[in-house]
Structure 1
Amino acid sequence: MRRIPHATFATLAAGALLLGGLATATAQAAPARAKSLYAPSALVLGVARGEDPLTATVERAVTLSCAPTATGTHPDPVAACKELAEVRGQFSDLAAGPSNRTCTRQWDPIVVTADGVWQGKPVRFSTTYGNACEMAGSTNGHTVFAF
């Protein structure tokens, strides 16, 4: 067994204490606090058949995340995030546009939904249209529910 001179041992021990102290100080540093418990902007958008969003049969659904970059399974996440930013996350502004279509009065309800978080705030939105034609006419020109 090799003996380590006392001076060398003392130097090594002092270095270990110093490094240990730095590691402890780093570990004890206060963690960064989140402004919200929610992600910045992450949504699930859906189109379902039925009157009530809680009981309607989901036909299509996509994910949309707008922060830090536009991503998700939405076919055009960049355009959808841009539209949401323009209306400050007010889905009702996108879903209630004037219809440019002539539709039948057939009652075959379609529900569009948005659940998740927009800019750190929880979102739960739904609106019901009389049929697919009314939905397409009311959301015409908007990308958010075009999937």
Structure 2
Amino acid sequence: MRHARAAFVTAVAACLLTTALTTATAQNSSRTVSVATQGLYAPSDLVLAVGPGPDAANATVTRSVTLTCAPSPAGTHPAAADACAELAAVNGMFTELSKPAPHALCTKEWAPVTISATGVWEGRRIDWSTTYANGCTMNAELARSTALAF
């Protein structure tokens, strides 16, 4: 009788331990699933800034906006959805957004204006800037860009 009772207690303990382990595994599995579903989108969060100065390190920021593109367009950019679409079309290559305007008439004065983009695009670190001779040149070259027109 004594051995039967010990065997019964051992069986119940094993059953309880198996149940506890199964529950813990299920809880860990659900945590893994929830963490994985949070990372479906690579981050795309940028700060775009413009201001007078010869380069991004020495420019005085006069305007800046935030732009988030994943999972959905957001931020303080005035046309976030259009800006995200434009950046997606060039795979986040900001150099593709600034094109010389063939018929622009600007003075040759040197009053440098720098525009910059800092942050992350689809998980890739972005630290881009370009400097224009003056505001007229910048506006002419960015006239066709929604992303950099803020």
TM-score range, shorter chain: 0.7 to 0.9
2:138 corresponding residue in structure 1: 135
- In the aligned structure 2, how far is the partner of 1:55 from the partner of 1:27? 52
By how many angstroms is 1:121 displaced?
A: 0.8
Equivalent of 2:47 in 44, 48, 51: 44
| Partner residue, 2:93 | 90
Matched positions, count: 134
Give 1:3's aligned residue.
none
- 5+ unaligned residues in a row in structure 1: which ranges? 1-12
User: Larger deviation: 17-26 or 97-106?
Assistant: 17-26
Structure with greater helix percent: 2
Provide the rounded CA distance (Å) in 2 between the counterparts of 1:68 and 1:33. 14
Alpha-carbon distance in structure 2 between the residues aligned to 1:83 and 1:56: 25
**Amino acid aligned to 2:104:** R
Aligned residue for 2:62, secondary structure, equals strand
Task: Determine the structure 2 residue equivalent to 1:124.
Answer: 127
Structure 2 length normalisation: TM-score?
Answer: 0.76
CA distance in 2, matches of 1:88, 1:129: 23
1:20 aligns with 2:20: yes
* Alpha-carbon RMSD: 2.9
Q: Identify the residue that residue 59 of structure 1 maps to in structure 2.
A: 62
TM-score (norm 1): 0.78
1:112-146 residue CA offsets vs partner (Å, 9 max, x unmatched)? 10111111111111000011110000011211111
Once the two structures are aligned, what percentage of the paired residues are identical?
Answer: 41
Q: Distance in 1 between matches of 2:65 and 2:102?
A: 24
Separation in structure 1 between the aligned mates of residue 16 and residue 102 of structure 2, nearest angstrom:
73
Q: Is the 8 A contact 1:99 1:140 kept in 2?
A: no
Aligned-partner residue type, residue 24 of structure 1:
A
